[in-house]
């Protein structure tokens, strides 16, 4: 099963690299979301978790991301939910030691990406749910990342609140 999962995830990663086909990218993202929801323990394997994070990074910096913004945010939310369910296994994978962000020395990329999408018209609700599930993790690494991004979080919450008030 592990062999099949890992090879399938590698194939999905390669297919996500086809930047000229937005419909293929949407379909692949939806398939990965379904696979992650069916098998909660799939990400306990470090190599699969790293590959899924590489997928998230590839999608985050894809120039056509706006074309599949909702499924992208749903994918981020699914990852946030997985980290919330199993922080001991997944936090070492989703908190990058390689990215230097000043005093912290590491970057919680999943939190950063989710925060950046809080204001998205398409997918913002998924981003909000993802950030909330990450904030519920009782771990000092999460707390440090939140403290370092508190100004961004506060500004995003104010913008979301003002948008809700404008609608009402």
The kind and range of the H/E element at 154 are helix 150-167
| 12 vs 38, higher pLDDT | 12
pLDDT in tens, 44-92: 767 788 888 889 888 888 877 777 788 989 999 999 999 998 888 888 8
Per-domain residue ranges for the chain?
2-167
On whether the CB atoms of residues 137 and 91 are closer than 8 A, the answer is yes
CA distances from 122 to 28, 53, 64, 73 (A): 19, 21, 14, 8
Rounded to the nearest 10 degrees, what angle do helices 87-94 and 140-148 cross at? 40
Say yes or no to pLDDT of 168 above 60.
no
Strands 95-96 and 107-108: antiparallel
E-assigned strand segments in 36-144: 95-96, 107-108
On whether the CB atoms of residues 87 and 139 are closer than 8 A, the answer is yes
Rounded to the nearest 10 degrees, what angle do helices 124-135 and 140-148 cross at? 130
pLDDT in tens, 87-146: 888 888 887 655 444 443 457 888 888 888 887 888 888 988 998 898 888 888 787 777
pTM tops 0.85, yes or no: no
What pLDDT score was predicted for residue 79? Answer: 92
């Amino acid at each position: 099963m592990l062999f099949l999962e890992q090879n399938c995830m590698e194939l999905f990663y390669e297919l996500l690299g086809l930047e000229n086909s937005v419909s293929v990218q949407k379909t692949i993202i939806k398939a990965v979301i379904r696979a992650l929801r069916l098998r909660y323990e799939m990400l306990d394997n470090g190599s699969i978790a790293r590959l899924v994070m590489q997928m998230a990074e590839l999608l985050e910096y894809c120039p056509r991301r706006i074309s599949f913004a909702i499924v992208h945010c749903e994918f981020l939310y699914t990852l946030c939910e997985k980290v919330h369910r199993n922080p001991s296994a997944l936090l070492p994978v989703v908190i990058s030691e390689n990215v230097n962000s000043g005093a912290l020395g590491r970057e919680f990329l999943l939190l950063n990406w989710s925060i950046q999408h809080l204001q998205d018209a398409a997918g913002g609700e998924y981003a909000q749910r993802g950030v909330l599930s990450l904030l519920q993790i009782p771990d000092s690494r999460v707390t440090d990342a939140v403290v370092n991004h508190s100004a961004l979080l506060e500004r995003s919450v104010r913008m979301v609140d003002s948008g809700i008030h404008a609608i009402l």
